[in-house]
A and B are shown apart, each in its own frame.
Chain A
Amino acid sequence: MRRPDGFARFADPDRGDTWLDTITCAHCNSIHHVKKDEPGGFCRMCYRHTCPKAECNTDTCVPFEKKLEAFEARERFRRAV
């Protein structure tokens, strides 16, 4: 990938190190390994990489940051009542 979101290293005692690029899904914050020169998923609304899951590749874009804010607000409310 031209600009991967991360890197993964598999240290094999027999074959040596193998490096893979990773993407961090902008919609669910999960990490996925991609092969070299594979573009991975991409959201044209937030311009970030997405994972292959169907719920992360719909017509609507809900960035993970928004989900996190909603989760934190819900938990604060739940603990306050």
Chain B
Amino acid sequence: MARWGVGGSKNASAVQSILVLTAASSSPRRARLYEYNVGSGATPADLAFIHIIQRCSTSGTGTSQTPNALDPADSLASTIVTKDAITSDPTITSGAVVWKIAINQRLSYSWYANGDNFSIVIPATASNGFMCGLSATTSTTFDSSSKFEEL
């Protein structure tokens, strides 16, 4: 199945989300998130942030991104809705945190799944997916990228 890459940035808006990936509102399909990278392009500061990936049930308000097909031969458009520069956070599902870590702002972090069975799955349910961001709102800017596979 087609694999996609998408990058996203968080601007100075006081929100949690850096990048939001959700299934389309019509004809949703499952997708597997198998790589996630995050770091801050802001002026280095000695601050700690708790980064999370949490399930969400809406896509929030932000700038829609067009995922890039990793194989240029893939001609179909991605059905996963990706947004960055979020100005209003999506509705996050309480307690459904699939990844959480506290890291210093100076560090950048990457996670890679070691095979298809070990990725995290976006359900084939309209506007459900992942909010990749922080555990609390902040005006600090962050940048991230992720790769996913549509099923």
Residue numbers of A with Cβ under 8 A of B are 3-14, 22-24, 28-31, 33, 48, 64, 68, 71-72, 75-76, 79
In the bound complex, do residue B111 and residue A7 qualify as a contact, i.e. CB atoms below 8 Å apart?
Answer: yes
Other-chain contact of B107, A12, A29, A31, A76 (Cβ < 8 Å):
A12
> What CA separation (Å) do A15 and B117 show in the bound complex?
32
Residue numbers of B with Cβ under 8 A of A are 30, 39, 44, 53, 97-99, 101, 103-104, 106-115, 117-121, 123-126, 128
In the bound complex, do residue A29 and residue B98 qualify as a contact, i.e. CB atoms below 8 Å apart?
Answer: yes
For residue B36, which residue of chain A has the nearest CB? Answer: A31
**Residues from chain A with Cβ under 8 Å of B121 in the complex:** 29, 64, 68
In the bound complex, do residue A8 and residue B111 qualify as a contact, i.e. CB atoms below 8 Å apart?
Answer: yes
In the bound complex, do residue B120 and residue A68 qualify as a contact, i.e. CB atoms below 8 Å apart?
Answer: no
> What CA separation (Å) do A29 and B31 show in the bound complex?
13
In the bound complex, do residue A30 and residue B97 qualify as a contact, i.e. CB atoms below 8 Å apart?
Answer: yes
In the bound complex, do residue B125 and residue A4 qualify as a contact, i.e. CB atoms below 8 Å apart?
Answer: no
Listed by A's residue number, 25 A-B pairs whose Cβ atoms lie within 8 Å are A6-B112, A6-B114, A7-B114, A8-B110, A9-B109, A9-B111, A10-B107, A10-B108, A11-B110, A12-B106, A24-B117, A24-B119, A24-B120, A28-B98, A29-B98, A29-B121, A30-B120, A31-B53, A64-B121, A68-B30, A68-B121, A71-B123, A71-B125, A72-B124, A79-B126
**Residues from chain A with Cβ under 8 Å of B114 in the complex:** 3-7
Summed over the interface, the residue pairs from A and B with CB atoms below 8 Å come to a total of: 76
> What CA separation (Å) do A9 and B108 show in the bound complex?
8
Other-chain contact of A6, B113, B125, B128 (Cβ < 8 Å):
B113
Other-chain contact of A30, B98, B117, B119, B128 (Cβ < 8 Å):
B98
> What CA separation (Å) do A31 and B118 show in the bound complex?
9
> What CA separation (Å) do A8 and B53 show in the bound complex?
14
Other-chain contact of A31, B99, B104, B117 (Cβ < 8 Å):
B99
